[in-house]
Structure 1
């Protein structure tokens, strides 16, 4: 009687071997990518961003960046803004202002976290006000940022964008400039 089951057992054993050999192998977990730590200080004493128009505006200006207590101080002047308008100056992830609308600069960047911003936009961060001539004097702090050194919170090589109250395009990217060490 065992002889009559032998072919069936051989077939079952072969099916198990083939089934195991063709089963998908478990995918190893991806290796954790170590994120470099945020820096307490940078390696540069000064940087500049020359902002040029974007989205067909006439906005332009120059801001100087310097290390300050708690981050990086941004000071300068911007012109061509909507007169008596509220605008925002924001740090963006990529130092690329090549797109007509400056979308090439990527998402807003949070230097305190060293990553793209996850903060809801209240419109308060980076607020600048233009006067009756359309000129804004900028004096802001980028909290947690450093100048130079390549840490995730380093702002050198990132873009500063002016978001404007342009007629028909509230919060449009109206000017863009890349932060460069002087």
Structure 2
């Protein structure tokens, strides 16, 4: 007969693994639909973690081996057909447009999407610029846009990313 003592290393390893995994808070999803005349679609999830947000998902229907600007916009409104009803970039801190990895940028400035040879792009990153469910940087109810062109990260206020290929409203799960 085994004693509780025999299971202690296993129990300890499970307990340590649980402590090392940050607990997830609220989450939200953006179901990207193509704008008029385009084919891009996808799904992006925003998960609140302690002190940061995990952003992950996939976009399909892009031209193979292309780069696309990717931004959260002010309004959760995709009714215009061209995505313009989402307004400008989400910018609650009133910073200039820039790269998400740079020191100053809009909260809505996300890393660019890089389509592979089949026209699909995956995204998976963490950011302290956004929140899910509360506060001034809350993404819930905002628009999410995939642009036709790469973001140059310098042209104000949009990064010269061109037309809007896909649009979504970020909704709380």
The TM-score bracket by the shorter chain reads 0.5 to 0.7
2:142 to 152, 158, 178: 158
Aligned to 1:61: 42
| CA shift in 2, pair 1:68/1:57, >3 Å | same
2:60 to 76, 79, 91: 79
For residue 128 of structure 1, report the CA deviation from its aligned partner: 1.3
Instruction: State how many pairs are aligned.
Output: 133
| RMSD (Å) for aligned C-alpha atoms | 2.5
Distance 1:82 1:137 in 2: 14
The 5 Å alignment of 1:67-106 reads: 67-68=48-49, 70-106=51-87
Return 5+ residue gaps in structure 1 as ranges. 1-43
Return 5+ residue gaps in structure 2 as ranges. 1-24, 102-109, 151-159
- TM-score after normalising by structure 2: 0.68
2:169 to 152, 155, 178: 178
Q: Say whether the 8 Å CA contact 1:56–1:100 is kept in structure 2.
A: no
1:17-40, CA deviations, whole angstroms, 9 ceiling, x for partnerless residues?
xxxxxxxxxxxxxxxxxxxxxxxx
Whichever structure has more strand as a proportion of its residues is: 1
Aligned to 2:97: 120
Distance 1:173 1:96 in 2: 13
Aligned to 2:154: none
Distance 1:48 1:123 in 2: 20
